[in-house]
Structure 1
Amino acid sequence: MRVFVAGATGAMGRQLVPRLVRAGHEVHAMTRSESKQGFLRELGAVPVVADALDPDQVARAVATARPDVVVHQLTSIGPMDMRHFDRAFAQTNRLRTEGTDHLLSAAQAVGVERFVAQSFFAGYDRVGGPVKSEDDPFGTQPPPGMEQTVGAIRHVEDTVLAATWTHGLVLRYGGFYGPHTSLGPDGEQTDAVRQRKFPIVGDGGGVWSFIHIADAAEATVAAVECGAPGVYNVVDDEPARVSTWLTVLAESLGAKAPMRVPRFVGKLFAGETGAVMMTQLRGASNAKAKRELGWTPAHATWRDGFRELAVSARAETDAAA
């Protein structure tokens, strides 16, 4: 099939594009930067230069490629600021609202058969049990400070699923870790854990779901090729409390155990958003994705992935010494 990937040079795109090429697809990879065309050619793709926020450029790019499938992986995430979460995600929120609308409009004009879009597990309402399925309420009770971000995610989901002219699939990814992510060998979150700047807030009872970036890419290839329209949680097999996974991560990295701070102290440096994510977040089940996409994560649990991450981090440190 001919597959158009928007957001082809991000952490996901770097993993996804070569996998699609190896699977025999003709990949048209969109980037905003002229200078990244060579990199995309090296991955085996046809580079496409367009600004995702310019509807005319997007329309021309998609019309030229005439894809069977569009994959929407547009993000622009800078340094994390939990106190001002929506501000930190402002550009990504535009890509998830305006960018989604531009891609859908362009895709409809050329009769795209399948549209696969990125979402995020952290929007599940913080009620009931600790692990959620795709049938549970999502995005109706966003954490304070994340209203715009969760609203943008809901926009992606609602508009893609409402597009009756195509097969729309939404992938609610877990927290990414691995190469080129903030929880990679030299990532922002990894450094914070090493430096004991990532404390356990309150009881650390928030439940997080993770997914290695390579496993997320494999699931996305599966969604390109199969699966009914709908929402899929793309996460590993072990949702975990913050107090559990953060302690294991620090130990894997050879760092001191994370500090523990009361919730009111956590709010001072991470805001209400950070405090809620550390104490109230709900995880997600991958049962539907495994069943209907025929996908299984190679890193079944973040425990294995974090050990692998620690080995890579030590190798990079040794190489830089």
Structure 2
Amino acid sequence: MRVFVTGATGALGRHLVPGLVDAGHQVTATTRTPAKVDGLRAQGAEPVVVDGLDREAVITAVLAAAPDVIVHQMTALANAHNLRKLDQEFAATNELRTRGTDNLLAAAERAGTRRVVAQGHNFVYARSGGPVKTEEDDLDARPVPSAAQAMAAIRYVDTTVPQAVPEGIVLRYGTFYGGDPTTDPMLAAVRKRQMPVVGGGTGVWSFIETSDGAAATRAAVERGAPGVYNVADDEPAPVAEWLPYLAELTGAKPPMRLPAWLGRVLAGEFIVTQMTEARGCSNAKARAELDWEPRYPSWREGFRAWVAS
């Protein structure tokens, strides 16, 4: 198939593009950075430099590629590390998830592309009820004010893509890990004891290693009914369980523990809610309907391989 991949040089895209090429697909891969063109070409893709917010440029690129499938992985998160002011940090990504999504969907309509696979996140689930959510569970109706725009942008993708094209798929990824362990900001924070367990660490997180996320995305390119799918490993876990384990793997001292009120002062409301109220997600639907399973079924083995790399 002809596959048009946006955000092709991002954390997931760097695994997705060569995986699609190896599977025999003809891949057109976009980047906003001319310097990254040679790297995409070396992976076997046809590179295109395009800004996802430039509607006419996006439509022109998609029409030229005439894809059977469009994969929407556009973000601008490389330097977004201050989660205290999430909406401010995610402003560019929020626009890519709203206006950029609209541009891709308009291009899909013009090109006659029936299948669009887009990036979502499991942070959209309601922070109430059971600790592990399925795709049928309620979404968060009361997002933290400092993250309201970011959550709205994620939900925009979540609702718009399945409605706009005959085969619209949104993958609600767990929290990614697996980047360069020498420069990864989360590992750096853990090593410096700058990532504490807040308020008892009762928030439940679901993780997905980036190459596993790319494999699930490749599966959604090739098969699966329209709709939303959770893409995460098999073991949602509370912060109080996974964070000390990660610290131990890095050789750091155990993470500090802070009461929720102090966490709000130091890190902001969004971090506190994720540390104390977040809900994990079940990957049962993706396993069954996409015929996919993670190489790292648990963050335990995934973290170990990540840190060792």
TM-score (norm 1): 0.94
Aligned match of 1:102: 103
Q: Deviations over 1:17-57 (max 9, x none)?
A: 00000000000001112221101001110001111000010
Aligned match of 2:125: 124
Q: CA deviation at 1:111?
A: 0.5
Q: CA deviation at 1:130?
A: 0.5
Counterparts of 2:241 and 2:80, CA distance in 1: 25
Determine whether 1:76 maps to 2:73: no
Counterparts of 1:113 and 1:139, CA distance in 2: 29
Aligned match of 2:280: 283
Counterparts of 1:153 and 1:192, CA distance in 2: 26
Aligned match of 1:224: 221
Counterparts of 1:223 and 1:306, CA distance in 2: 25
> What code does the residue aligned with 1:214 have?
S
Q: CA deviation at 1:185?
A: 4.1
> What code does the residue aligned with 1:147 have?
A
Aligned match of 2:4: 4
Cα contact 1:139–1:151 (8 A) shared by 2: no
Tell me the secondary structure at the aligned position of residue 48 of structure 1. Answer: strand
Structure 1 window deviating more from structure 2 (301-310 vs 77-86): it is: 77-86
Paired positions, count: 308
Counterparts of 1:33 and 1:250, CA distance in 2: 35
Determine whether 1:146 maps to 2:147: yes
Tell me the secondary structure at the aligned position of residue 110 of structure 2. Answer: helix
Q: CA deviation at 1:139?
A: 3.8
Determine whether 1:172 maps to 2:172: yes
What aligned pairs does 1:14-29 form with structure 2 within 5 A after superposition? 14-29=14-29
Counterparts of 2:114 and 2:34, CA distance in 1: 28
Aligned match of 1:260: 257
Tell me the secondary structure at the aligned position of residue 162 of structure 1. Answer: helix
Q: CA deviation at 1:91?
A: 0.5
Aligned match of 1:36: 36
Determine whether 1:236 maps to 2:237: no
Q: Deviations over 1:163-197 (max 9, x none)?
A: 1x4200000000000025xxx44201110000000
> What code does the residue aligned with 1:177 have?
Y
Tell me the secondary structure at the aligned position of residue 146 of structure 2. Answer: coil
Q: CA deviation at 1:143?
A: 2.6
> What code does the residue aligned with 1:189 have?
M
Instruction: Select which of 307, 310, 314 maps to 2:307.
Output: 310
> What code does the residue aligned with 1:238 have?
E
Structure 1 window deviating more from structure 2 (247-256 vs 78-87): it is: 78-87
Determine whether 1:192 maps to 2:189: yes
Cα contact 2:127–2:140 (8 A) shared by 1: no
Tell me the secondary structure at the aligned position of residue 251 of structure 1. Answer: helix
Instruction: Select which of 199, 204, 209 maps to 2:201.
Output: 204
Q: Which runs of at least 4 in structure 1 moved beyond 4 Å after TM superposition?
A: none
Cα contact 1:58–1:106 (8 A) shared by 2: yes
State the identity %.
Answer: 54
Cα contact 1:5–1:73 (8 A) shared by 2: yes
Q: CA deviation at 1:248?
A: 0.4
Q: CA deviation at 1:82?
A: 2.1
Counterparts of 1:226 and 1:79, CA distance in 2: 33
Counterparts of 1:89 and 1:309, CA distance in 2: 26
Cα contact 1:172–1:231 (8 A) shared by 2: yes
Aligned match of 2:245: 248
Cα contact 2:80–2:90 (8 A) shared by 1: no
Determine whether 1:92 maps to 2:93: yes
Cα contact 1:200–1:246 (8 A) shared by 2: yes
Q: Deviations over 1:77-117 (max 9, x none)?
A: 12321210111111100000000000000011111021000
Counterparts of 1:117 and 1:41, CA distance in 2: 23
Counterparts of 2:96 and 2:119, CA distance in 1: 11
Cα contact 1:32–1:50 (8 A) shared by 2: yes
Q: Deviations over 1:123-159 (max 9, x none)?
A: 1011100000000011422233111001001111111
Tell me the secondary structure at the aligned position of residue 128 of structure 1. Answer: coil
RMSD: 0.9
Tell me the secondary structure at the aligned position of residue 13 of structure 2. Answer: helix
Counterparts of 1:293 and 1:79, CA distance in 2: 31
> What code does the residue aligned with 2:187 have?
T
TM-score (norm 2): 0.98
Aligned match of 1:63: 63
Cα contact 1:4–1:70 (8 A) shared by 2: yes
Counterparts of 1:310 and 1:280, CA distance in 2: 27
Counterparts of 2:4 and 2:166, CA distance in 1: 15
